[in-house]
């Protein structure tokens, strides 16, 4: 079941990203990031009404409160990356999260990954490198320069590292509560604390028109369902396993980049995505 939940999370995550990028065309990234959270609240509140609130100990609160500022920072950087870079070029760098998780999940959770997973890590790195391979007209080092120049990709690598920490902290919180309760409660808290940031950045001028309702509702529904399936999957297996499968969202993102935004070089980036996904599979099989 954790594989099914993880694949569902990947599809919903990529779909929400594609809808978010469309909305970002005419909107400030802080406003759209906040709207993404805001419009996910109805489903989260409804789910919370039918969930028994478990006893919440010190470990739950420490993990939750430590994760909150990191999660908000990641949301801001993530949405900014979607706005300034092609979705098929920026989102695949989230594939680096499982590599970071090998260290962070061990330090925070004591979850060990076999050394034989090094081959999988190499494939992930090689796939990331090949995303900019078309820029290597003269030297093999050119893709690294392209990565530096593609600010959205750099931001997404930072996000990938932050997510490796918040995923591990989330696992601690889930183990000391329940997956559905934590998923709903945590993102309600994030929305509450992110609201003044969005208001400040937009100087209090937050207005939604009738034309905004349908796209923002679609974003909210897919995002809230992603949260639920994410937490259920995370509760059933090791963090690195779950996030590895979730990162198959990069393949869906590449497809959306071609279908919705007519992005170029998607076939080349798809090859990089497949290499990275092969690395995920090898890590899973070798741990």
- pLDDT tens digits for range 196-240: 888 887 776 776 777 778 888 888 899 999 999 999 998 888 787
Q: Which residue has the higher pLDDT, 226 or 147?
A: 226
What's the average model confidence in pLDDT over 7-12? 89
Residue 136 has pLDDT above 70, yes or no: no
78 contacts: CB under 8 Å, gap ≥ 6:
33, 155, 156, 159
Q: pTM for this one?
A: 0.78
Domain regions of the chain by residue span: 2-110+151-271
User: Nearest 5 degrees, angle CA 209-CA 90-CA 39?
Assistant: 30
The Cα–Cα gap between 115 and 207 comes to 52
Residue 273 has pLDDT above 80, yes or no: no
DSSP 8-state secondary structure symbol assigned to residue 202: T
DSSP 8-state secondary structure symbol assigned to residue 52: P
Buried-exposed string 87-125: b where 16+ CB fall within 10 A, e elsewhere = bbbbbbbbbbbbbbbbebbeebbebebeeebeebbebbb
Mean pLDDT of the chain: 80
Neighbours of 36 (CB within 10 A): 25
Buried-exposed string 208-223: b where 16+ CB fall within 10 A, e elsewhere = eeeebeebbebbbbbb
The kind and range of the H/E element at 282 are helix 266-285
At 182 the pLDDT is 92
Q: 171: pLDDT confidence band, cut at 50, 70 and 90?
A: very high
Residue 250 has pLDDT above 80, yes or no: no
DSSP 8-state secondary structure symbol assigned to residue 54: P
């Amino acid at each position: 079941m954790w594989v099914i939940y993880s694949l569902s999370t990947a599809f919903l995550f990529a779909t929400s990203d594609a809808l978010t990028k469309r909305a970002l065309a005419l909107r400030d990234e802080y406003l759209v990031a906040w709207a993404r959270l805001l419009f996910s609240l109805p489903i989260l509140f409804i789910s919370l009404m039918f969930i028994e609130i478990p006893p919440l100990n010190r470990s739950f609160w420490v993990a939750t409160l430590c994760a909150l500022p990191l999660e908000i920072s990641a949301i801001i950087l993530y949405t900014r990356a979607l706005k300034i870079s092609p979705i098929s070029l920026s989102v695949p760098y989230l594939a680096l999260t499982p590599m970071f998780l090998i260290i962070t999940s061990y330090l925070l959770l004591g979850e060990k990954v076999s050394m034989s997973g090094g081959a999988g890590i190499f494939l992930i790195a090689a796939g990331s490198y090949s995303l900019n391979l078309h820029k290597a007209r003269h030297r093999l080092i050119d893709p690294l320069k392209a990565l530096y120049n593609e600010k959205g990709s750099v931001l997404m690598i930072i996000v990938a590292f932050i997510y490796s920490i918040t995923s591990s902290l989330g696992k601690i919180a889930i183990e000391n509560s329940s997956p559905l309760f934590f998923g709903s409660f945590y993102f309600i808290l994030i929305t509450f604390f992110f609201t003044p940031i969005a208001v400040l950045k937009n100087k209090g001028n937050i207005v939604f028109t009738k034309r905004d309702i349908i796209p923002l509702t679609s974003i909210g529904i897919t995002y809230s369902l992603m949260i639920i399936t994410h937490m259920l999957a995370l509760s059933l297996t090791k963090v690195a396993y779950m996030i590895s499968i979730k990162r198959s969202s990069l393949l869906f993102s590449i497809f959306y980049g071609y279908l919705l935004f007519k992005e170029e070089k998607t076939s080349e980036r798809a090859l990089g995505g497949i290499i990275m996904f092969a690395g995920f599979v090898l890590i899973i099989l070798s741990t």
